[in-house]
Amino acid sequence: MLPARHRSMVLMKKITRGTHRKVNYVSKLFQPQNVVPKDNKVKNEDCLSKSQKLMLDLGVIRQASAGAFHMLPLSERSLQKLISIVDDEMSKIDAQKLMLPLLTPGELWKTTGRWEDVGEELFTLKDRHDKEFVLSPTHEEAVTDLIASVPQLSYRQFPLRLYQVSNKFRDEMRPRFGLLRGKEFIMKDLYTFDVSQEAASETYKAVSEAYENIFRRIGIRYLRVSAAAGIMGGSISHEYHFLATTGETQLLTCESCGYGTSAENSVTHDCPACGHSFLQCRPGIEVGHTFLLGTKYSLPLKAKFTTATGKSDFLQMGSYGLGMTRILAASVEVLSLPDQIRWPIALAPYTVCIIPPKEGSKESAVAHLAEELYHKLNSVDCFRDDLIIDNRCNMTIGKRLFEAQKVGYPLIVVIGRKALQPTPELEVYHTLMDKETSINKTDMIPYLKECLLNK
């Protein structure tokens, strides 16, 4: 019979070859990192945001061209977690998910007047028949035309709330800060249709509450501020911001009552809500925007419904956007250290990273604990498919721990020397709290669950 150490090494090799149940492994992860010599001075480094530099260097995203990025497996997992949160909150307000074409006929944008208003930021093209199209930065025209194309819509079919998560395009003159300001980005856009101004206002409140729930679940402090409607139009508009030094929007907030507004929307420094004489100015990253549109789009595009008296009337609209890729980058921007990513737990690509012992070490005798812990955690709903093992056991525990902390896995479990004790203990590193704890093997699952609850 093989010694215990050799049995553990054989077991880890079998796991890596995939002869056991599916396990997520760092060795299999496509994560091309940028290796920059310590003495290398990156030109124009000041032009890079913290999130951009970290996400590029650590293989989370990769630049495809100016203002466009490949979403690599880590960022894609994070994006899917965000989409799941959004889908859940949208279902609670009876919003239905669809997918609209990325190409919108140019004539629709000309009908609403936005073809000229948006200007050079609008990507336009012609097909072989010389028909003009817009590579959509948003879909008010497209969705309104969809509703207008359906005959005899009754008042009983409203409110109607339709949303999608899709790529959007904007011809930025100066794309910068990675996913924070690009030419191509992913947005969640919701369009609502109501039969009266009062009903549209109620919808606006419901969506605003859903947005606040989304940001609370993400777990990053946000500000909701009144804003100018701009080229979107409408009577009411609010923005949602994460506070960050790289934020391009100046926000005015009242320390007395909590009122907030964008600086461009303010005509005084006196608070309009409570009259306080001083508004504090802070930079913010816009991550969401809501608009109460009225009939700005339904009127020119003839989106109507049939009233209870059989008459025809124009629908009242709302438009609501969340910058999905921007939320990911802004989260990293707000939480991270200069040389280490910090994810909010709700959006971390993997919540738990397990680090087994180095091959040939004394601790390799308990290497099997990595797989045991993985499958025990994987049977718990809150951890299912949210785990990864750093099986690069030719590397020291210290080097793998250092890399795991740089990538920002919220909870890192190390199987080290304490696992050899008569009552095995594992080391848990809580990245966001910068805290290390030794936990009895049998208490591990309750402890990790508690960490999630106290995020």
pLDDT the model gives residue 232: 73
Percent of the chain with pLDDT over 70: 92
Are residues 159 and 297 located together in one domain of the fold?
A: yes
Residue 332 has pLDDT above 70, yes or no: yes
Lowest mean pLDDT among 39-53, 215-229, 336-350: 39-53
Point out which residues pair with 436 in neighbouring strands: 429
CA distances from residue 125 to 59, 69, 132, 135, 185 in whole angstroms, order as listed: 33, 22, 6, 8, 19
Task: Please indicate, yes or no, if residue 33 is contained in any of the structural domains.
Answer: no
Residue 433 has pLDDT above 50, yes or no: yes
244: nearest Cα among 213, 261, 221, 269: 221
Of 308, 333, 358, the residue at which a domain comes to its end is 333
Are residues 354 and 321 located together in one domain of the fold?
A: no
Q: For all residues of the chain together, what is the average pLDDT? A: 92
Are residues 274 and 325 located together in one domain of the fold?
A: yes
Point out which residues pair with 126 in neighbouring strands: 132
Are residues 182 and 255 located together in one domain of the fold?
A: yes
Separation of alpha carbons 379 and 384, rounded Å:
6
Task: Please indicate, yes or no, if residue 271 is contained in any of the structural domains.
Answer: yes
Enter the tokens of residue 353.
């990273």
Are residues 280 and 164 located together in one domain of the fold?
A: yes
pLDDT the model gives residue 271: 84
Torsion of the alpha carbons at 169, 174, 179 and 183, rounded to the nearest 10: 10
Q: Is 322 helix (H, G, I), strand (E, B) or coil?
A: strand
> What total of structural domains would you count in the chain?
2
Per-residue confidence band for 135, with pLDDT thresholds at 50, 70 and 90: very high
Task: Report the pLDDT averaged over residues 401-417.
Answer: 98
Task: Report the pLDDT averaged over residues 111-129.
Answer: 95
pLDDT the model gives residue 13: 56
Are residues 391 and 313 located together in one domain of the fold?
A: no
pLDDT the model gives residue 99: 98
Of 333, 368, 396, the residue at which a domain comes to its end is 333
Contact 155, 308 (CB under 8 A): yes
Per-residue confidence band for 235, with pLDDT thresholds at 50, 70 and 90: confident
Contact 289, 320 (CB under 8 A): yes
Residue 45 has pLDDT above 70, yes or no: no
Are residues 294 and 153 located together in one domain of the fold?
A: yes
Are residues 161 and 297 located together in one domain of the fold?
A: yes
Q: Are strands 96-97 and 160-169 parallel, antiparallel or unpaired?
A: parallel
**In which element (H, E) is residue 241 found?**
strand 236-243
* CATH number of the domain to which 316 belongs: 3.30.930.10
101: nearest Cα among 56, 45, 146: 146
pTM for the full predicted model? 0.92
Are residues 162 and 189 located together in one domain of the fold?
A: yes
**In which element (H, E) is residue 262 found?**
strand 260-262
Are residues 14 and 88 located together in one domain of the fold?
A: no
Residue 41 has pLDDT above 70, yes or no: no
Separation of alpha carbons 318 and 213, rounded Å:
19
Task: Please indicate, yes or no, if residue 338 is contained in any of the structural domains.
Answer: no
Residue 400 has pLDDT above 70, yes or no: yes
Q: Per residue in 179-192, pLDDT tens?
A: 999 999 999 999 99
Lowest mean pLDDT among 45-54, 119-128, 199-208, 419-428: 45-54
Separation of alpha carbons 115 and 134, rounded Å:
9
Are residues 130 and 278 located together in one domain of the fold?
A: yes
pLDDT the model gives residue 18: 45
Task: Please indicate, yes or no, if residue 48 is contained in any of the structural domains.
Answer: no
DSSP 52-100: HHHHHHTTSEEEEETTEEEE-HHHHHHHHHHHHHHHHHHHHTT-EE---
Structural domain of 375? 8-24+350-453
Are residues 214 and 304 located together in one domain of the fold?
A: yes
**In which element (H, E) is residue 378 found?**
helix 368-378
Task: Please indicate, yes or no, if residue 264 is contained in any of the structural domains.
Answer: yes
pLDDT the model gives residue 19: 45
